Structure 1
Amino acid sequence: MGSNSFQLIFLILLFQLLYFTCIDYQFVSSAGTSKVGTCIETEKKALLKLKENLTDPSGRLSSWTDQENCCQWIGVSCDNKTGNVVKLDLRNTFSTNSELGGEINPSLLDLQKLTYLDLSMNNFGGIKVPEFIGQIGELRYLNLSGASLSGSVSSFLGNLSNLQVLDLNMYSEKPVENDLEWLKGLSFLEHLNLGGSDLSKANNSWLQTINAHVPSLLKLHLPQCQLLNLPSSLPSLDLTSLLVLDLSNNAFNSSIFPQWLFSLSNLVYLDLNSNNIFSELPDEFAKIISLEYLDVSSNYGINGPLKKSLGKLCNLTTLILSYNNISGDITDFIDVLSECQSNSLETLDLSFNELSGNLPAKLGHLRNLKLLQLRFNSLTGTIPETIGNLSSLESLYLTSNQMSGNLPTNIGQLTSLVSLDISDNMWEGIVTEAHFLNLSNLQEFSVGMKLGRNITLAFNISSNWTPPFKLTFLTIQSCQLGPKFPAWLKDQTELTSIIFNTGGISDAVPDWFVELDLKLDNLDIANNNLSGKVPNKFQFNFIANVDISMNLFEGPLPLWSSNITTLYLRDNLFSGPIPLNICGALPNLTDLDISMNNLNGTIPLCIGDMNQLTTLALDNNQLIGQIPDFWGKLPYLYWIDMSRNLLSGQIPTSLGSLAYLMLLRLSSNNLSEELPSSLSNCT
């Protein structure tokens, strides 16, 4: 090839580069917004007036000063040719400490070229939406969602004929009137969100009005709008451009999916969750081939099989069908879905249904899957070996099914896995290091049976093994972990929840475990044969739960931390009196069970100051003295067991003040005199 040819190619490439650069420049210029430029003085003064009436606790508007160019202020954008303010973005994206409040000054009307106004997620304390907003005729974008405003906007927002985006989601109790006729003036509207509006009186016309007057809509959000009617038909469908439809959390109580729904051929997002729809999933869903997100969860009445026709939706990234009554096998659906040339599914949630049968081998073909939720069904069989192909899988939940058999070691190949919950199934065999080999991202792991009696799954892991992960949440119940305390936890310094219930551990709590310096939300090592004294250095986060019941721990009662709310120490060998400072040490307790120990002495009077208590179990000890008369200060107490002690004297009349009392056991003591008549109040 000669030099002239190279020069020609170079010139063509240079021309293309200049051409596309020019196109990009023209696009930016037509958008007309920039932080650079000279602010118009009258508009600067208008913005300063706006600031004067606003409260700004975090100083978000500190750059708004008379000495600075207003086009460079936070939240302000100007036309880069004229200097007019065209965009005012005061959305709170931080926290409650940075919410703007106060009054909205009509000086906004001086921003004659304002096209974009966002006041969302602030706190204006319930003031009415100012009617002058309806006079900002150039507005194309208006977002007042979550701004704690009130009053109807129907009478004036209909004047904003250029509006393309209107978001009023949950900004007040009644952001719009029941009548939607005011939408007639918004024929260019592309995005409408009226979430939380009361449209109960527009039930027979809401869809017809929107269909007739805003046919250009691309996104329609009407969640929690008290809609009771899901129209079964339309004379003609004009919403053919609709991409997003959110009708969640209404109360349609419908026995059909309407046919017009399946004519929305461009739809990519459909949310119908929490609507009391009683129907099978129709095959017509397969017509919406562009669909990427489908949620019909929490209808409870969706029944019948999981149609294999849904598997033809090859563009689906999210399918949520949980909390329904879908039954039968999932094999046909998975098989069809797996045949998609470019399967996109990332989230599959079928939990809380009536699904049965085995997990199909072709599940391993869904290679983009990140979340697989199949909890609370009636699935059987084991986990297919092909599970190891799901290299993108981050969360796998198979909790509470009827699955059984050996766990495949291929689980250990799921390098992206963060959460693995396979508890409450009937697994068998041995768990070894191979099951965790490459789980470097694992943070949550749960296995075993909550109320298991027969241990069929055992852990055979070397005490010298160092896991590739750092767990935060670990639950192993009714599995053979022992007899030694699991030494492979030695470097698990990020644990916040530990449950080793019924683990066959016959050991003392090792020093290295205490020295991990964990701060726990949950500690459950109940129903083992752990012995010795309980370490007193355990640390707990606020609202912590502790259960070390049914072991062989001895010594005085451990009190640990004021953050503990439930404390179960029953069926151990603890001795000595109940500490007199128990109420000061554990002021947030809701449940206290110290039964079946060797405790003696009297019941401390300060227990009457633990006013959050709901259950109190002191039975099967050697407590003496009278039953204290402090029950009037424990308003939530519903369970009291002080049986099988050496208590004497009379039953206090204040027990009759416990309005929620359901169980009272005082048997096998040395009590005297009559039952107090006040107990008749415990209805």
Structure 2
Amino acid sequence: MRAVIISLFGFLVIAAIGVISFCDGSNSTVLCIESEKNALLKLKHDLIDSSNRLSSWIDQDADCCKWVGVFCNNFTGHVNELHLGSHGWDSQLRGKINPSLLDLKHLTLLDLSNNEFEGMEIPEFIGSLKSLTHLDLSEANFGKAIPHQLGNLSQLHYLDLGRNYALFEAESLQWISGLSSLQYLNLSSVNLSEATDWQQEINKLRPSLVELHLSSCSLKNAPYSPVSVNHSTLALLDLSSNILSSIPSWIFSLSSLVSIDLRGNEVRGLIPNGFRNMTSLKYLYLSRNFLEGIVPKSFEGLCNLKEMDLSYNTIDHEVSEIIESFSRCSLNNLESLNLASNKFSGHLSDQIGQFSLLKVIDASNNLLNGSLPQSLGQLENVQYIDFSNNMLEGSVSELHFSNLTRLIALKASNNMLTFKPNPSWIPPFRCDSILLANWYLGPQFPPWLESQKNLSFLDISQAGISDVIPTWFWNLSSQFYYLNLSNNQLVGRISYWPKCRSLDLSSNQFTGPLPQVSPDFGGLFLSWNFFSGSLSKFLCNVSSELAILDLGSNLLSGRIPDCWKDWQSLTFLNLENNNLTGEIPESLGTMGGISLLNLRKNSLFGEIPSTLQNLHSLQILDLSMNKFRGSIPAWIGGDKFSSLVVLNLRSNNLQSEIPDEMCSFHLLQYVDLASNNISGAIPKCFSNLTAMTGIFLNRFVGAGVLISGRHWFYSATLFVKGREHEYSTTLGLVTSIDLSANNLTGDIPNELGNLKGLFSLNLSRNLLTGKIPDNIGNIESLESLDLSMNRLEGKIPSSLSNLNFLNHLNLSYNNLTGQIPSGTQLQRFDEFSYIGNHLCGLPLSKNCSRNGIVTQNNVTNGGRNEGGSKGHKVNGFYVSIVVGFVVGFWGVVAPLFFIRTWRLAYYRKLEYVGDKLYVFWATSTAKLFR
């Protein structure tokens, strides 16, 4: 008996040592199987391992169980796990997968995720690894069809094929029904658009499934949808970013669901009541759909809900009712509530303070009104608040923030709120982001910001601050990533720049010279101030990663420095409306990545330098209102300028003819060559300007660059309908040709009628002859047409009355004759649109006789007066009118009409006076608002 006890004790000690060894993960007692070692070496041979991750797989005599990524069974020595997933692009494996894997007959886990297999097909032989319980091939760039042999892996618990964007299932998902032990399935980003049976096949899976990920699979609602599914254990269902037009009804029978994600589909109509039975639900994501109406009453029973996202829909509901419905739960677990970008309206309820666990609340971009409830200050766990872009109004007090000790982000821009705390108030929070644009925080610079030592994003633009920026703020600002103080009345000089990625000080009253630019900037916005002096010290002797530089509308003077070679990251350069002089420096043409160059309204001269042809990314070029001379360079229309959308050379001294090369601008939407000395004919090849034909119309809408998480839109100041307009987000809607105030001769080309997408056409104040083309009515998008002060003759084409969008018309001072075509469009313009011609019919006071003779109202063709007396009676009043007309016309108007130099001088003088009045008005207005 004693021997038996001793033997049993020895067995237990040996077993304990084995268990300890197993738990410790040590492979010291068991070597790997030789055949499996050889299989691993063959596998390595076919893999490309540029980072030497598998450098330990080299010694033939070594224990392969100690190799990186290899895990063995401590008792048998068999390889049962291969962890070859990558943790970064620099450590990715490439190449092929050797069939030697089949020699690892005890392999239970295979992880090849996050590698780069360059679109190769998943090997079919993986379906023969019958011992596999865990297979992860996600984000490894596998392609082609999924091998149905994977359905043979009946022991598989975990299958992840997600984020292989070239992978697709062309016919059916029938193969997944063989995965009888599956608990986790991820096919995200696999193209299942042709797998119309996906709902039925998912229903066939055993009820052991816990997680199902089918995000971004191009799934549609199938004709057949099961009434219910037998998944009593399914806890997570992800169907986000598909093409579902409705929520599949079988989802509502999944009472065990904890999380459901339907974001980014095309679900329309009301939110269904089916959620009422899903009482276990903790995470509900319905954002970025087309849901409308109200939130159903059944949501009141979702008392376990932690996160709800209804953002980016068109839900129209009183926000106070939403808050009250959730506050009815005896235990409120809500941690995140996202209602952004809907049509929620009404006041925020004071009951918001009862959500004691709330961490995130986002109700931005809605129709909320009223004041902010003071109960917000009770949300001691809240970290993120966003009420931006609503209609909230009233005063905000210190009580609104009393217990917000965990607050990280405070966003409430673009409301009508006022915040004037006690000057000694110290906020209880230390925020990373404070965005309070359009609040009234002034007139003093907010002293409470001094305590915000963790700030990275600050926007207090248009906040009614008229003060000097305090010294402590410049010390604080060394930590900023995004800083916006624009549209205030800040004064003083800038001695040095803060360290931040994006700085916006535009529309203030800063003065003095600019200190040297910081190399840390990505975007710098300084327009509409009173900065003065030269640009040389500011720009030169520094290498910058700056993408946007906006110095427009200041008092900068001198030449543009020739030091742009160190600014290769620049995509947006605006120097408009300053006092810059001299020629364009050659180095400005070295910035191949620049897409917007605006030098308008300066005193630059010389010829347009040929180095600008190297700006192959240019989309907007504005050199207007300077003193450039010479001809329009032919290279402007070359292949290197193929991206150009806006070309503005207005009000210079350019001569010669319009080069035919300009017709190669297939993306050009706006061309302004007005007020130069350009001669010759209008090129017929303008019909090749494809973007004006409507084919590519609106391609430029919203163009810009992304800086510090904010999209900065390109903008341009354009002459349309005789006035300056600034376009930004709607820039792509403007298509215009303006060749006015030049010396153009010949006919208006019929080919212009092909530009169906043209918005504005101005050919006025030239020497054009012939008739108005009959097909001008084909320009169906035309809103503005100005052909005045030319030598056009003949009748007004009847096709003009077909222009339904025309709202600005000027045909005055030509030699046009006959009746104005009848129609609702042409009769609604006043007589000044037709004055100076020989026209009759409405809206003019001259009637047309049957034979086309122009007659005056109340006078018959018989020559009799109203009294009926015979003969002709001389009326002194009419005689004086005739004499006055002759003297006035031949003494003043006729010379302007027939003598080109007089005419050009007169209208340039008018334009000069107009510009002076505009500048005076703009300056006065700016000072008034400051």
Residues 453-511 of structure 1, C-alpha deviation per residue, up to 9 Å, x if partnerless? xx843264576984142211111110133321143422343112211101211111245
Distance 2:79 2:258 in 1: 35
Alignment partner of 2:547 out of 548, 565, 575: 565
The AA in structure 1 aligned to 2:578 is N
* Alpha-carbon offset, residue 639 of structure 1: 2.7
The answer (yes or no) to whether the contact 2:549–2:572 under 8 Å persists in 1 is yes
The answer as to 2:172 corresponding to 1:179 is yes
Partner SS for 1:437: coil
The answer as to 2:143 corresponding to 1:150 is yes
Partner SS for 2:240: coil
Residues 525 and 269 (structure 1 numbering): CA distance in 2 closer, same or farther, change over 3 Å?
same
The answer as to 2:216 corresponding to 1:224 is yes
The answer (yes or no) to whether the contact 1:283–1:309 under 8 Å persists in 2 is yes
2:78 maps to which residue? 84
Partner SS for 1:491: helix
Distance 1:538 1:144 in 2: 46
Greater displacement, 561-570 / 78-87: 78-87
The answer as to 2:502 corresponding to 1:522 is yes
Unaligned runs of 5+ in 1: 1-24, 450-454
The answer (yes or no) to whether the contact 1:467–1:488 under 8 Å persists in 2 is no
The answer as to 2:119 corresponding to 1:130 is no
Give runs of aligned pairs for residues 587-602 of structure 1, distance below 5 A: 587-602=568-583
Alignment partner of 1:314 out of 303, 318, 334: 303
The answer (yes or no) to whether the contact 1:121–1:146 under 8 Å persists in 2 is yes
Distance 1:533 1:417 in 2: 39
Alignment partner of 1:437 out of 424, 427, 441: 427
The answer (yes or no) to whether the contact 1:78–1:87 under 8 Å persists in 2 is yes
The answer as to 2:281 corresponding to 1:250 is no
Distance 2:360 2:443 in 1: 26
Distance 2:222 2:382 in 1: 36
Distance 2:442 2:448 in 1: 18
The answer (yes or no) to whether the contact 1:309–1:333 under 8 Å persists in 2 is no
Residues 35 and 313 (structure 1 numbering): CA distance in 2 closer, same or farther, change over 3 Å?
farther
The answer (yes or no) to whether the contact 1:34–1:78 under 8 Å persists in 2 is no
1:556 maps to which residue? 534
2:357 maps to which residue? 368
Alignment partner of 2:651 out of 656, 659, 668: 668
Partner SS for 1:354: coil
1:339 maps to which residue? 328
Unaligned runs of 5+ in 2: 1-15, 669-688, 690-930
The AA in structure 1 aligned to 2:529 is N
Alignment partner of 2:282 out of 292, 300, 303: 292
The answer (yes or no) to whether the contact 1:391–1:414 under 8 Å persists in 2 is yes
2:785 maps to which residue? none
TM-score in terms of structure 1 length: 0.87
2:97 maps to which residue? 104
The answer (yes or no) to whether the contact 2:444–2:467 under 8 Å persists in 1 is no
The answer (yes or no) to whether the contact 1:630–1:654 under 8 Å persists in 2 is no
Residues 507 and 279 (structure 1 numbering): CA distance in 2 closer, same or farther, change over 3 Å?
same
Q: Percent identity?
A: 36
Residues 487 and 438 (structure 1 numbering): CA distance in 2 closer, same or farther, change over 3 Å?
farther
2:391 maps to which residue? 402
Distance 1:237 1:677 in 2: 68
Residues 603 and 136 (structure 1 numbering): CA distance in 2 closer, same or farther, change over 3 Å?
same
* Alpha-carbon offset, residue 141 of structure 1: 1.0
Distance 1:412 1:190 in 2: 47
The answer as to 2:48 corresponding to 1:59 is no
Greater displacement, 649-658 / 353-362: 649-658
Residues 201 and 672 (structure 1 numbering): CA distance in 2 closer, same or farther, change over 3 Å?
closer
Residues 79-100 of structure 1, C-alpha deviation per residue, up to 9 Å, x if partnerless? 34333322222222x2101112
Distance 1:529 1:566 in 2: 21
1:16 maps to which residue? none
Residues 379-424 of structure 1, C-alpha deviation per residue, up to 9 Å, x if partnerless? 1122211112222222222221112222232326322222222112
The answer (yes or no) to whether the contact 1:168–1:175 under 8 Å persists in 2 is no
Distance 2:531 2:200 in 1: 71
The answer as to 2:635 corresponding to 1:654 is yes
Distance 2:202 2:23 in 1: 31
The answer as to 2:621 corresponding to 1:640 is yes
Structure 1 or 2, whichever has the larger Rg, is 2
Residues 268-312 of structure 1, C-alpha deviation per residue, up to 9 Å, x if partnerless? 11111122111211222121111111111111x111113343243
The AA in structure 2 aligned to 1:545 is G
The answer (yes or no) to whether the contact 2:620–2:644 under 8 Å persists in 1 is yes
* Alpha-carbon offset, residue 333 of structure 1: 1.9
* Alpha-carbon offset, residue 316 of structure 1: 1.9
1:165 maps to which residue? 158
Distance 2:421 2:489 in 1: 15
Partner SS for 1:427: strand
Distance 1:626 1:145 in 2: 58
The AA in structure 2 aligned to 1:79 is N
Partner SS for 2:316: strand
Residues 472 and 394 (structure 1 numbering): CA distance in 2 closer, same or farther, change over 3 Å?
same
RMSD: 2.7
Residues 172 and 109 (structure 1 numbering): CA distance in 2 closer, same or farther, change over 3 Å?
farther
* Alpha-carbon offset, residue 38 of structure 1: 1.6
Higher RCO, 1 or 2 (CA under 8 Å, sep at least 6)? Answer: 1
* Alpha-carbon offset, residue 664 of structure 1: 3.5
Distance 2:105 2:23 in 1: 15
Distance 1:235 1:341 in 2: 33
Partner SS for 2:71: strand
Partner SS for 1:46: helix
Distance 1:639 1:65 in 2: 59
Partner SS for 2:151: helix
TM-score in terms of structure 2 length: 0.65
The AA in structure 2 aligned to 1:290 is S
The AA in structure 1 aligned to 2:455 is L
Greater displacement, 265-274 / 598-607: 598-607
Distance 2:501 2:476 in 1: 19
1:616 maps to which residue? 597
1:274 maps to which residue? 264
Residues 656 and 171 (structure 1 numbering): CA distance in 2 closer, same or farther, change over 3 Å?
closer
The answer as to 2:572 corresponding to 1:606 is no
1:531 maps to which residue? 511
The answer (yes or no) to whether the contact 1:411–1:436 under 8 Å persists in 2 is no
Distance 2:179 2:53 in 1: 33
The answer (yes or no) to whether the contact 2:624–2:651 under 8 Å persists in 1 is yes
Alignment partner of 2:460 out of 456, 463, 476: 476
The answer (yes or no) to whether the contact 1:569–1:594 under 8 Å persists in 2 is yes
Greater displacement, 173-182 / 472-481: 173-182
Distance 1:376 1:248 in 2: 23
The answer (yes or no) to whether the contact 1:240–1:264 under 8 Å persists in 2 is yes
The answer as to 2:400 corresponding to 1:419 is no
Alignment partner of 2:480 out of 479, 485, 495: 495
Distance 1:493 1:413 in 2: 28
Partner SS for 2:401: helix
Distance 1:350 1:87 in 2: 45
The AA in structure 2 aligned to 1:273 is R
The AA in structure 2 aligned to 1:161 is S
The answer (yes or no) to whether the contact 2:88–2:114 under 8 Å persists in 1 is no
